[in-house]
Amino acid sequence: METFNTRYYPWYKAFVSMMAWLPIFFLYFNEGLTFREVILLESIYYISVVILEVPSGYFSDRIGRKKTLVISSLAFAASYLAFGFWRPDFVLFAIAQILLATGFSFMSGTDTAFHYESLVDKGMEREFPDREAKVQSWSSYAGGLAALLGGLLGSVQLSYGYIVSFVFMLPALFISARFSEPTNNSEASAALPLTQLKEIGRYYKSKELVWLFLFSVVLYALIHVPYEFYQPYLSLLEQNDFNIPLDAALYSGVLFAGTRFLGGAVAGQSIFLANKLGLKKLCLLALALQLGIIGILGTLLHPLLILLILLRSVSRSITTAPVNAEIAPRLAQQHRATYFSLQSLVSRLSFSVTLIILSFSIDYQVINEWATLATIFRMSVVGGLIISIPLLFMKSGVLFKKRFS
């Protein structure tokens, strides 16, 4: 029997995912702040996420899922208010970046744990893989619509992307406030911090969890390479007589929307593909696809290759639901959010290290030259192969076919 939690969780995730600011945030920051200040704002966000990631997961395991999701929704709404309704100011935007990081950190891991435990509450846990795939699909479609709207509105006024994101967060906040704590959380509670981390460490005796942990970290880094560098790629296309006529905000919104729409379509088929191919093979194909996209982008500067940027989210879309469905049942309730937060933390740190390594290979005075951008992509492929190939030979336990049927 459906409950408020199980019925409206997909709607909650869809509204949270409607981040109309994503395709235009850099343009908006740079409109009223210096380039140096924009980079500092981004660093404040990433540092805040790193600091908050694991504590927020522990808070969820210790205090509860509902309260954590409400805090996340409030933080998102407050950040959008600051970004959308005030003129660009470095100090104010720095506070807003911390609030934004709080929103992401408090949602990370808790959303998956809440979804699974709400189903367990009603004896519906066998439905989790298909329902999680549905959630991922809805989220991608909703994010695509929001990105398209953000690009359209951004071509008029860049701050509108944040204002409309705030509007979308209001129903998400209402839904999260109406959620009920899964009753199977009423007795079990996370241990003290050091004990909790020690208990989490025991999970890495599992071959399956170790393999999936490493896969998730590697894929996160590879997915974010084309995400971080597609705007310079578009800029170079405009500079090299390809005569791209669209407004930058609108063009970025359309491209971002296309990525999310495609991701939504394949996310809905992710459990079918996991059953057909086996989870390990599906994950390896996702890594190969991502490496191929980065490699081709590094070989040629051409408008047709924009289509490859549309594929950048496919690898994550086809693996998120089956990977979560494999991991969640293996974790004790009082460990789930902390575990997923720790995985997210290591993934973000891995990409930070990737950026640091790449920074030593480029000359910031010529960042807009094709040779520089091509070097970044090619180095990413080489590094990606080095860290991906060991996954072919690592023991991965029973990541076999028909796991989710």
Query: For the chain, what percent of residues have pLDDT higher than 90?
Result: 46
- Whole domain around residue 287: which residue ranges? 4-179+204-393
Confidence of residue 256 (pLDDT cuts 50, 70, 90): confident
**pLDDT value of residue 215:** 96
Higher pLDDT, 23 or 167: 167
For residue 300, count CB atoms less than 10 angstroms from its CB and return exposed for 0-12, middle for 13-18, buried for 19 or more. exposed
Q: What angle do CA 238, 243, 244 make, to 5 degrees?
A: 70
CB 58 within 8 A of CB 113: no
- Quote the pLDDT of residue 73: 97
Asked whether residue 50 is assigned to any structural domain, the reply reads yes
Closest listed residue to residue 169, CA positions, set 17, 56, 4: 17
**403 in any annotated domain:** no
Look at residue 21 and tell me if it is in a domain.
Answer: yes
On whether residue 198 sits in a domain, the answer given is no
Identify whether 195 is part of a domain: no
Query: How many folded domains does the chain comprise?
Result: 1
Burial of 393 (0-12, 13-18, 19+ CB in 10 A): exposed
Is pLDDT larger for residue 70 or for residue 356?
70
What integer best gives the mean pLDDT of the chain? 86
pLDDT by residue (tens digit) across 2-39? 899 999 999 999 999 999 998 888 778 878 887 678 77
CB atoms within 10 A of CB 31: 13
Residue 402 lies in a domain: no
Q: Among the listed ranges 58-62, 185-189, 272-276, 336-340, which one has the minimum average pLDDT value?
A: 185-189
Give the CATH number for residue 215: 1.20.1250.20
351 in a domain, yes or no? yes
CA 287, chain centre distance (Å): 16
- Look at residue 84 and tell me if it is in a domain: yes
Least confident window among 44-58, 210-224, 368-382: 368-382
Q: What is the pTM of this model?
A: 0.81
